[in-house]
Amino acid sequence: MAAGSTIGTILKVTTWGESHGKAIGAVVDGCPAGIALSEDDIQAMLDRRRPGQSRYTTQRSEEDRVGILSGVFEGKTTGTPVSMIIFNKDQRSKDYSQIASCYRPGHADYTFDRKFGFRDYRGGGRASARETAGRVAAGAVAEKILSELGITVTAYTRSIGPVSVDADRFDLSEAANNRLWMPDPVAAKEAERFLEEKMAACDSAGGVVECVISGLPAGLGEPVFDKLDAELAKAILSIGAVKGFEIGDGFAAARSCGSANNDAFAVRDGRTVKTTNHSGGVLGGISDGSDVVFRAAFKPTPSIAQAQRTVTRDGEETELVIHGRHDPVVVPRAVVVVEAMAALVAADLLLVSMTSRIDRIRGFFGRQKENGCEDRDRK
Amino acid sequence: MAAGSTIGTILKVTTWGESHGKAIGAVVDGCPAGIALSEDDIQAMLDRRRPGQSRYTTQRSEEDRVGILSGVFEGKTTGTPVSMIIFNKDQRSKDYSQIASCYRPGHADYTFDRKFGFRDYRGGGRASARETAGRVAAGAVAEKILSELGITVTAYTRSIGPVSVDADRFDLSEAANNRLWMPDPVAAKEAERFLEEKMAACDSAGGVVECVISGLPAGLGEPVFDKLDAELAKAILSIGAVKGFEIGDGFAAARSCGSANNDAFAVRDGRTVKTTNHSGGVLGGISDGSDVVFRAAFKPTPSIAQAQRTVTRDGEETELVIHGRHDPVVVPRAVVVVEAMAALVAADLLLVSMTSRIDRIRGFFGRQKENGCEDRDRK
Amino acid sequence: MAAGSTIGTILKVTTWGESHGKAIGAVVDGCPAGIALSEDDIQAMLDRRRPGQSRYTTQRSEEDRVGILSGVFEGKTTGTPVSMIIFNKDQRSKDYSQIASCYRPGHADYTFDRKFGFRDYRGGGRASARETAGRVAAGAVAEKILSELGITVTAYTRSIGPVSVDADRFDLSEAANNRLWMPDPVAAKEAERFLEEKMAACDSAGGVVECVISGLPAGLGEPVFDKLDAELAKAILSIGAVKGFEIGDGFAAARSCGSANNDAFAVRDGRTVKTTNHSGGVLGGISDGSDVVFRAAFKPTPSIAQAQRTVTRDGEETELVIHGRHDPVVVPRAVVVVEAMAALVAADLLLVSMTSRIDRIRGFFGRQKENGCEDRDRK
Amino acid sequence: MAAGSTIGTILKVTTWGESHGKAIGAVVDGCPAGIALSEDDIQAMLDRRRPGQSRYTTQRSEEDRVGILSGVFEGKTTGTPVSMIIFNKDQRSKDYSQIASCYRPGHADYTFDRKFGFRDYRGGGRASARETAGRVAAGAVAEKILSELGITVTAYTRSIGPVSVDADRFDLSEAANNRLWMPDPVAAKEAERFLEEKMAACDSAGGVVECVISGLPAGLGEPVFDKLDAELAKAILSIGAVKGFEIGDGFAAARSCGSANNDAFAVRDGRTVKTTNHSGGVLGGISDGSDVVFRAAFKPTPSIAQAQRTVTRDGEETELVIHGRHDPVVVPRAVVVVEAMAALVAADLLLVSMTSRIDRIRGFFGRQKENGCEDRDRK
């Protein structure tokens, strides 16, 4: 697709807005009618990416109150576009002359200038992480669709810098208990110590987010280009700061061998299941009924309080020191963004997958006739 | 997108065909008019994925002769769809009853049945690696477009199992000299020994392909969802057997720190350049003028000559032994597929990027008037 | 969409091929799996647009034998792309120097040159009516989908030049009996006489095709931009030589008044129905359960055997006399093309419409669990 | 496309909002960077569709003040989505029980209920003509793009009921002088009298809008499905109440003959031109450099103050009398909507057309290098 701010085939999301413009928002088109949806549903998910939650996230006291402007009537989606808006409250006048005139290493300042000729430099403009608020709002709508069908999406921090969650201590309920969204309290403590060191050194860290989609029926994703894992990869790499994506065993599979990497099939309770899940829930790009498990690698926050060599807009070499507070790691706030993008992809492919078999299509339209859906007005 | 066999916005590729059907092919729509294109151009690229090139690739003696059926006139593209066809020659009658009736671990047999109700089981049908021949043919067209603008795409084997190319011995010209497309003759030898072991053990291996796009102007890729790296990730994950994607430092960036991972800007010969390339040529999803460098992780070939536990189509547990010869590793033949997909993404985004600035658009239409393009028929 | 040779959202059709190239064809992606489909099904529809059927259609003795190259296995669609090909048999060497060097009035020669810089001038190249063979082949697939759900599409000639079908004599079974596809034998005779006159005068005629889609459930078409009538209008105007489209009362509605044009609702056999159908089966862009009725206006064949003033490719004024035989009217052969395009739009929107309501979606996925579709392998 | 509230390939517009919701709006993605754009630019176009302008348009005293929320910085477009919002001010509490419980003839009440299961019945919800405000706001952005390249779009009323503009009296400057946007003061007076009669009879009228796009370069529009006229037809039929579309001579061409309908080519001032314009500026779906001229047929306003037979949501026959004031004809307010949709199509295809020829693409990228666009930062 061109232009770039729209994603999805049936469930189509368009986001808009700059970091320091009047507002940011998202429009979700193609959401099925009849789903209970309130601003609170969306706010709950947005609050998870709110800054100012801990020492490791920025202190900007945004409230990020979302408003639903359309597409919901009497508490339910109407099938028409759900437009959501978040006004930018914290736009206090700041001196942006430095960021306006020179290119921050690791940021999109330079590439925006090359692509568009100039840019809204205030707080990163459209390239700011604030753009992800629109994604999260849209993802909240997608999660509502999925929950109608018993599907859940859960993301958490897998590692920060060198500190990884320990498989033996893994406890998902712990993730919400610590400020780093790590499902392992010991690792969380260790990661906090690591971040303190980085902050003291005016430096920053990266990390890995893991996400699990459970309850997805087999059969989602299209063969060839629009594979489930391919769509997930695009959605995840589209999040700023993501540098890698892997599904199932991922890069480790490249070092494995067929006899270890293949998942055997077996029958359990009368159903065909895989006895292991090296594939991460996808075979040939189509969901296989197991949990879909994938990981996203985030680079270290590029804004650091050290002097860096760079170039001005006018082509002069210079030294840049970025002031102000920045998250030493983006991972904790990115967890919910990963979850939102995964929900959007899953919900969209779920809707698309309804059309793959004529027997089911026949049943779909036939059933409407039989049970009166079609003849709802018959007396 | 739905249906799944079409990719691209302006340069739109549709592939079709099953492993053992009459033919396979690709239609490339949106190719600019006036590019010299012959069947030989496409054949040269197709020959690189041909089976039977070494002990490590299948012996099926396909010729894979491509024919151009439309879109080229007097040796040049006309701007209308370029339709390419490869007839399947080696369709000798075989016994497919085993693969028809039970699910091969690591393959898409099970998921196709769940999605579509049944499947063309001959040789894997649409899920066969043979499908990639259409991608390679389309990629050859994309490389012709790119070469008009001085852009090159080069892929090679980075590792097979535990054997990686050594940075000090890296020599791209070596890649074509060995059967594994490894740009390091020592590593290539070692990898061959490793593969012999695997074959002796009736097992298979995975590996990593690396790809470099050089000469790409800054400014390609759209902000938000259609980032250059996001589109590459989708295109690469859409290749069967790929389980991971990373750009620049990728997963290693997640363990790095900001001061090490940021690429400083400097001025060289009057141009702004990055002094390192940890980002892999992309900042904020937009090409930054450096080489675009990414890697794809391939899982081990799922077809192995060992007994494996599985389930039949009728839901009975069973043991499966796959007969016939299969590549012990897919990586060497996948190199050109990675290259093809990268070329398709780059060429498409290049065309899309022409529309980003009104000053250039004005120049584009103005220039046609000035230099007579517009008035070509003025006497 | 860009590039322009692909149409549809879920059911996606790509056509390719030039009039005098090696072959023409179509790829239909997104066709649901499990539909019985043979080459004969497609051939039957293609035969209806075959030239050489009467004095009023060209004598080119093409056979237009279609071949299915993929997407069908054991007589049923597999859910993967259905690729169809028709080889161009009648490519006898001809002198195209005239059409190569000067612009035929009413044809696309001039605009192709301006757009692409040059063109495949043989027989009109991609702009030839022969391109529609691909549409008809694809339309035959769409009609198979529709017929599974009891939906029929029927087109016929409504008028040729000044001669219109008389409402009182309307008899659809007559359409196939005369060479002009007119459902009124008296009008057909009169139209034949009119065409004889035009031919004697080295001139040509236009006409109107009418099309009826019956059995379409209410609820197809999207609110705003992708209305059912909007999608039909695009599909019909995309047929060469079409200059107008109207649905229901069309342009006559513009001269009517609200009290006459509104269709009253009533209850018949317990169902809500419209007592008239001025709307042509669409309210607010969504099918209302009545027959969808629309018309397409075709211009007179531009190739006439009279001298015409024109300009050469080099910008010299000249006089052109087009030799060879051409249909004096395109309408009879266009009837099946209109039908094909209507079937493609209806089938695509039908599939899209499955996703509009969460109660039905819940029922769709729930039913699979209940009736064992989902658990097909449960013993 | 699915979902239906997004249109365009490069210039992509999404509209949202219901008649009596909190607000309505549009997001324009893909707008080139660097175009001067203010809220006043958009307001000026919006004011042309404002209700309450005359006796013949509703008296609702909306102000329809548009706000730009994103995509503009320092007075110029940034290349990122332009989000525009219009708050609904006049939402006074009304009794909607009648429209909620029964189906207005000629409206989308019934089809929305069938498609979505229920609907936002307040003032027509998403199916209200108020939805077009978003289109007009987006069209204003498109007109800014076109004006940068010397392209203008002009629509006006061609006829109301039986009263048509007289060719001899045609004076475009008159259109803005009368309340019906008719470029003929005599016809305008006559049409006013006709409307008074209809209003006195509690009835309504339809009419025809004509639109001219001038200055469009030859070469816009894609061969096959995405022809310029096909895209225009879709865009125009997507406007509520439109029942017909014709380009150039349209339906009259179906009654003409080839010798009269073909436009001869000639050379004027060293350029190839058509000496007539029966084609309406399009040959083979591609702009030919002449004015693009098309017409849209609007049905009579369905809301009339007469008793009408209809059916309730519960399937009971009933009689309905619609209270309140409604425009006796939608045409005058629809003029600017037609213009907006034409501008959107033209601007989008203009951007797409930049990619059709490799010589121009080479020139485009080459020129950036030569004239320093590429090396803007070279000292």
What's the average model confidence in pLDDT over B70-99? 88
**Any CB–CB contact under 8 A between D223 and chain B?**
yes
Report whether A180 contacts A192 (CB < 8 A): yes
Quick check: C149 and A355 CB within 8 A? no
- Tell me the nearest-neighbour CA distance from D62 into chain B, angstroms: 34
Of A34, A267, A379, nearest to C358 by CB-CB distance is A34
* DSSP alpha helix (H) spans, D152-255: 172-175, 185-200, 228-237
Distance of CA D100 to the CA centre of its chain: 29
- Tell me the nearest-neighbour CA distance from D379 into chain C, angstroms: 38
pLDDT at B306 over 60: yes
Q: What percent of chain C lies above the pLDDT cut of 90?
A: 84
Report whether A277 contacts A289 (CB < 8 A): no
**Any CB–CB contact under 8 A between C276 and chain A?**
no
Q: Which of A44, A67, A65, A47 is nearest to A57 (CA)?
A: A47
Does the residue C108 lie in any domain? yes
- Tell me the nearest-neighbour CA distance from B86 into chain D, angstroms: 25
Q: How far apart are the C-alpha atoms of D321 and D306, rounded to whole Å?
A: 6
What's the average model confidence in pLDDT over B75-103? 87
Least-confidence region, from A328-332, B90-94, B251-255, B260-264: B90-94
Q: How far apart are the C-alpha atoms of C237 and C196, rounded to whole Å?
A: 28
Task: Name the phi and psi angles at D333, rounded to 5.
Answer: -80, -20
Of D11, D125, D315, nearest to A379 by CB-CB distance is D315
Quick one: pLDDT at residue C323?
Answer: 82
Quick check: B226 and A127 CB within 8 A? no
Residue ranges making up the domain that contains D214? 6-370
Of D145, D365, D377, nearest to B272 by CB-CB distance is D377
Q: Which of A239, A156, A213 is nearest to A349 (CA)?
A: A213
pLDDT at B358 over 80: yes
Does the residue C375 lie in any domain? no
**Any CB–CB contact under 8 A between D284 and chain C?**
yes
Does the residue B163 lie in any domain? yes
Quick check: D33 and A116 CB within 8 A? yes
What's the average model confidence in pLDDT over B251-276? 97
What's the average model confidence in pLDDT over C230-259? 98
- Tell me the nearest-neighbour CA distance from A262 into chain D, angstroms: 37
pLDDT band of B374, cuts 50, 70, 90: very low
In chain A, what residues touch C35 (CB-CB under 8 Å)?
A: 358
- Tell me the nearest-neighbour CA distance from B371 into chain D, angstroms: 11
Quick check: A3 and D12 CB within 8 A? yes
Residues 6+ apart with CB under 8 A from D135: D13, D15, D26, D239, D337, D340, D341, D344
Residues 30-59 of D with CB under 8 A from A: 30, 33-34
Quick one: pLDDT at residue A378?
Answer: 38
pLDDT band of A325, cuts 50, 70, 90: confident
Quick one: pLDDT at residue D91?
Answer: 61
> Taking the CA atoms of chain A, what radius of gyration do you get in angstroms?
22
For residue B271, give the H/E element and its range: strand B271-274
Report whether A370 contacts C363 (CB < 8 A): no
Question: Where would I find the beta strands (DSSP E) of C269-331?
Answer: 271-274, 282-283, 286-287, 292-298, 307-311, 317-321
For residue A159, give the H/E element and its range: strand A152-160
Quick check: C358 and A217 CB within 8 A? no
Residues 96-155 of D with CB under 8 A from A: 115-120, 125-126
Quick one: pLDDT at residue D90?
Answer: 63
What's the average model confidence in pLDDT over C336-362? 97
In chain D, what residues touch C17 (CB-CB under 8 Å)?
A: none
| Closest chain D residue by Cα to residue C327 | D258
**Any CB–CB contact under 8 A between B223 and chain A?**
yes
- Tell me the nearest-neighbour CA distance from A76 into chain C, angstroms: 11
Sign of CA dihedral B243, B247, B252, B258: negative
Does the residue A378 lie in any domain? no
Residue D214 half-sphere exposure, CB side, CA atoms within 13 Å? 4
pLDDT band of A279, cuts 50, 70, 90: very high
pLDDT at C11 over 90: yes
Residues 6+ apart with CB under 8 A from B142: B11, B28, B340, B343, B344, B346, B347, B348
For residue B137, give the H/E element and its range: helix B132-148
In chain C, what residues touch A363 (CB-CB under 8 Å)?
A: 367
Amino acid at D223: P
In chain C, what residues touch A148 (CB-CB under 8 Å)?
A: 358, 361-362
| Closest chain C residue by Cα to residue A267 | C378
Pairing of strands D82-87, B76-77: unpaired
List chains adjacent to chain C, taking adjacency as at least 3 C-beta pairs closer than 8 Å.
A, B, D
In chain C, what residues touch B5 (CB-CB under 8 Å)?
A: 27, 29, 80-81
Per-residue b or e along B343-365, where b marks 16 or more CB atoms closer than 10 Å to that residue's CB:
bbbbbbbbbbbbbbbbebbebbb
Of C111, C315, C353, nearest to D283 by CB-CB distance is C111
Quick one: pLDDT at residue D378?
Answer: 38
In this structure, what CATH number is given to the domain that contains residue D200?
Answer: 3.60.150.10
Residue that wins the pLDDT comparison between C294 and B91: C294
Residues 58-87 of A with CB under 8 A from C: 77, 79-80
Quick one: pLDDT at residue D379?
Answer: 38
Question: Where would I find the beta strands (DSSP E) of chain C?
Answer: 6-7, 12-17, 23-29, 66-68, 72-73, 76-77, 82-87, 152-160, 163-164, 207-214, 242-247, 265-268, 271-274, 282-283, 286-287, 292-298, 307-311, 317-321
- Tell me the nearest-neighbour CA distance from C9 into chain A, angstroms: 8
pLDDT at C51 over 60: no
Q: What is the DSSP letter of B168?
A: G
**Any CB–CB contact under 8 A between C280 and chain D?**
yes
Does the residue D376 lie in any domain? no
Does the residue D304 lie in any domain? yes
Count contacts between A and B (CB, < 8 Å).
Answer: 397
| Closest chain B residue by Cα to residue C102 | B377
pLDDT digits (tens, 9 = 90+) for C164-211: 999 999 999 999 888 899 999 999 999 999 999 999 999 999 999 999
- Tell me the nearest-neighbour CA distance from D364 into chain B, angstroms: 6
Mutation target vs B (from C14, C122, C135; most B CBs, 10 A cutoff) = C14
Report whether A357 contacts A219 (CB < 8 A): no
Quick check: C119 and B78 CB within 8 A? yes
Quick one: pLDDT at residue A372?
Answer: 45
Residues 6+ apart with CB under 8 A from A344: A7, A8, A11, A13, A135, A138, A139, A142, A235
List chains adjacent to chain B, taking adjacency as at least 3 C-beta pairs closer than 8 Å.
A, C, D
Task: Name the phi and psi angles at D163, rounded to 5.
Answer: -95, 115
- Tell me the nearest-neighbour CA distance from A213 into chain B, angstroms: 17
Average pLDDT value for chain A: 92
- Tell me the nearest-neighbour CA distance from A74 into chain B, angstroms: 32
Least-confidence region, from A20-34, B158-172, C121-135: C121-135
Of C115, C203, C270, nearest to D219 by CB-CB distance is C115
| Closest chain A residue by Cα to residue B227 | A238
Q: Which residues of chain D have pLDDT under 50?
A: 52, 59, 372-379
Of C223, C272, C375, nearest to A270 by CB-CB distance is C375
Quick one: pLDDT at residue A97?
Answer: 82
Q: Specify burial of residue A379 (Cβ count, 10 A radius: 0-12, 13-18, 19+).
A: exposed
Q: Give me the number of domains chain D comprises.
A: 1
In chain C, what residues touch D157 (CB-CB under 8 Å)?
A: none
pLDDT band of A305, cuts 50, 70, 90: very high
List chains adjacent to chain D, taking adjacency as at least 3 C-beta pairs closer than 8 Å.
A, B, C
Pairing of strands C242-247, B286-287: unpaired
Residues 6+ apart with CB under 8 A from D107: C283, C284, D124, D127, D302, D303
Q: How far apart are the C-alpha atoms of C275 and C267, rounded to whole Å?
A: 9
In chain A, what residues touch C216 (CB-CB under 8 Å)?
A: none
Distance of CA C84 to the CA centre of its chain: 17
Report whether C204 contacts D258 (CB < 8 A): yes
Quick check: D81 and A2 CB within 8 A? no
What's the average model confidence in pLDDT over B341-367? 95
Q: Which of B169, B164, B189 is nearest to B179 (CA)?
A: B189
pLDDT digits (tens, 9 = 90+) for B199-243: 999 999 999 999 999 999 999 999 999 999 999 999 999 999 999
Quick one: pLDDT at residue D176?
Answer: 84
Quick one: pLDDT at residue A260?
Answer: 98
Residues 340-379 of A with CB under 8 A from C: 351-352, 354-365, 367-368, 373-375, 377-379
pLDDT at C118 over 90: yes
Q: Which of B13, B4, B2, B1 is nearest to B81 (CA)?
A: B13
Quick one: pLDDT at residue A374?
Answer: 46
Does the residue C136 lie in any domain? yes
In chain B, what residues touch A107 (CB-CB under 8 Å)?
A: 283-284
pLDDT band of A263, cuts 50, 70, 90: very high
Quick one: pLDDT at residue C95?
Answer: 74
In chain B, what residues touch A224 (CB-CB under 8 Å)?
A: 4-5, 15, 126, 131, 238
Q: How far apart are the C-alpha atoms of D91 and D89, rounded to whole Å?
A: 6
| Closest chain C residue by Cα to residue B81 | C16
Does the residue A25 lie in any domain? yes
Q: How far apart are the C-alpha atoms of B118 and B159, rounded to whole Å?
A: 37
Quick check: B360 and D374 CB within 8 A? no
pLDDT at C131 over 60: yes
Average pLDDT value for chain B: 92
pLDDT band of A286, cuts 50, 70, 90: very high
Which pTM does this prediction carry?
0.96
| Closest chain B residue by Cα to residue A244 | B246
Q: Which of A9, A148, A98, A112 is nearest to A307 (CA)?
A: A98
